[in-house]
Amino acid sequence: MVVGRVSRKVILWVLAGLLAAGTVVALVGLRWYRDGLRPPDPSGEPKIVHIREGSSVDAIATLLRAETLILDDRAFKLMLKIEKLGDKLQAGVFEISPAMSGEEVARHIASGEIVVRRLTIPEGLTLEQISQRVADAYLVEDAAAFEQAAVAATVSSEVSMPLPDGDLEGYLFPDTYDFCCDLRPEPIITRMVKELEARFYQPNREEIERRGLSLHEIITLASLVEREAKFPDERPLIAGVIQNRLDRGMKLQIDATVQYALPEHKERLLFRDLEIESPYNTYRHAGLPPGPIAAPGLSSLMAALRPAQTDALFYVARADGTHIFSGSYQEHLRAIERIRGG
């Protein structure tokens, strides 16, 4: 019948239209999916991302999108379902490149590959400054957590050298380290203290015991040398001056100890700063301060262990950072006048 033929034609045309529309929708969806998983920036720099324990797939996708490490969080979550990766994503700290595709990002996180970062701690930093550097390298949750963990109890069972009762100011050895980003401060602190033990304490143990100062006093003296000396060849001389003043019961009058005592660092100390009441203020209190004021390097530690034999009791810095050493106060005043051009 004609009517039947028309109906079949209509049905066929409708089916063909639906098929074409479905194909278009599928192609559009496929293009959206593929575009959403493209690398966001093929020339971009890698970023450090912290995925916290218990993070949901939605939270991880939102974080990656916010860091511009994926282009579309919906396409990313769909891919996780298709590839069955959603349950395999792990918590931790990951280094992710924006040159990676969405699938590569997911497989990297699922691999649980821990970031290893190189950290350099220069000589002369305080515990607070070291803590901030460690945090800035994404090695711990935050600087305060690291500083709070930097106490003798953290490493007392790991080392044989004597440790102070309180914090480990001065005991975190300055060096370049490779650390895993597992966000725990204890392994980092232990490694740095053990480095001090291996590099200084154990090789010189007998000499340290004969020195006439405790290990804590030697490290404290070394921290003063570290902050005062800019040139390695002057470190034993400065240590010798400090030792001479200690032997004579003279106040050390070292500006760096005042800086340590102040609540905030100042580029230039004022006379009123020298009056601050603190056991670290060596203008007011004779002898060594109660503990180190910074982390000394090996050359400063060796200078404190083996101070130069000198008659000098004073030193003053030239503009280039070198010092003039004097055996009397009168000589010291003349040296100051020469430096000032008087």
- The answer to whether the CB of 147 falls within 8 A of the CB of 128 is yes
φ, ψ dihedrals at 237, nearest 5°: -65, -45
Give the residue among 309, 112, 124, 135 at the shortest CA–CA distance from 227. 124
How far is residue 219's CA from residue 223's CA, in Å, rounded to a whole number? 6
Q: Which amino acid is at 154?
A: T
* CATH code matching the domain that covers 47-111, chosen among 3.40.50.300, 2.40.50.140, 3.30.540.10, 3.30.1490.480: 3.30.1490.480
pLDDT at 322: 92
pLDDT at 30: 72
**CA end-to-end distance (rounded Å), the chain:** 123
pLDDT at 21: 63
- The answer to whether the CB of 106 falls within 8 A of the CB of 80 is yes
Q: Which amino acid is at 99?
A: A
- Pick out the chain residues at pLDDT < 50: 1-3
Name residue, tokens 């100062």.
213
Q: Report the relative pairing of strands 314-317 and 116-120 from DSSP bridges.
A: unpaired
Show the CA angle centred on residue 24, arms to residues 21 and 30, nearest 5°.
140
How far is residue 271's CA from residue 133's CA, in Å, rounded to a whole number? 32
Q: Which amino acid is at 87?
A: D
Q: Which two tokens stand for residue 123?
A: 């000589």
How far is residue 156's CA from residue 149's CA, in Å, rounded to a whole number? 12
For the chain, domain boundaries: 47-111, 118-201, 213-310
pTM for this prediction: 0.76
Q: Which two tokens stand for residue 56?
A: 């949901």
pLDDT at 1: 46
How far is residue 31's CA from residue 71's CA, in Å, rounded to a whole number? 13
pLDDT tens per residue across span 285-317? 999 999 999 999 999 999 999 999 999 999 999
pLDDT at 308: 96
- The answer to whether the CB of 145 falls within 8 A of the CB of 185 is yes
pLDDT at 25: 61
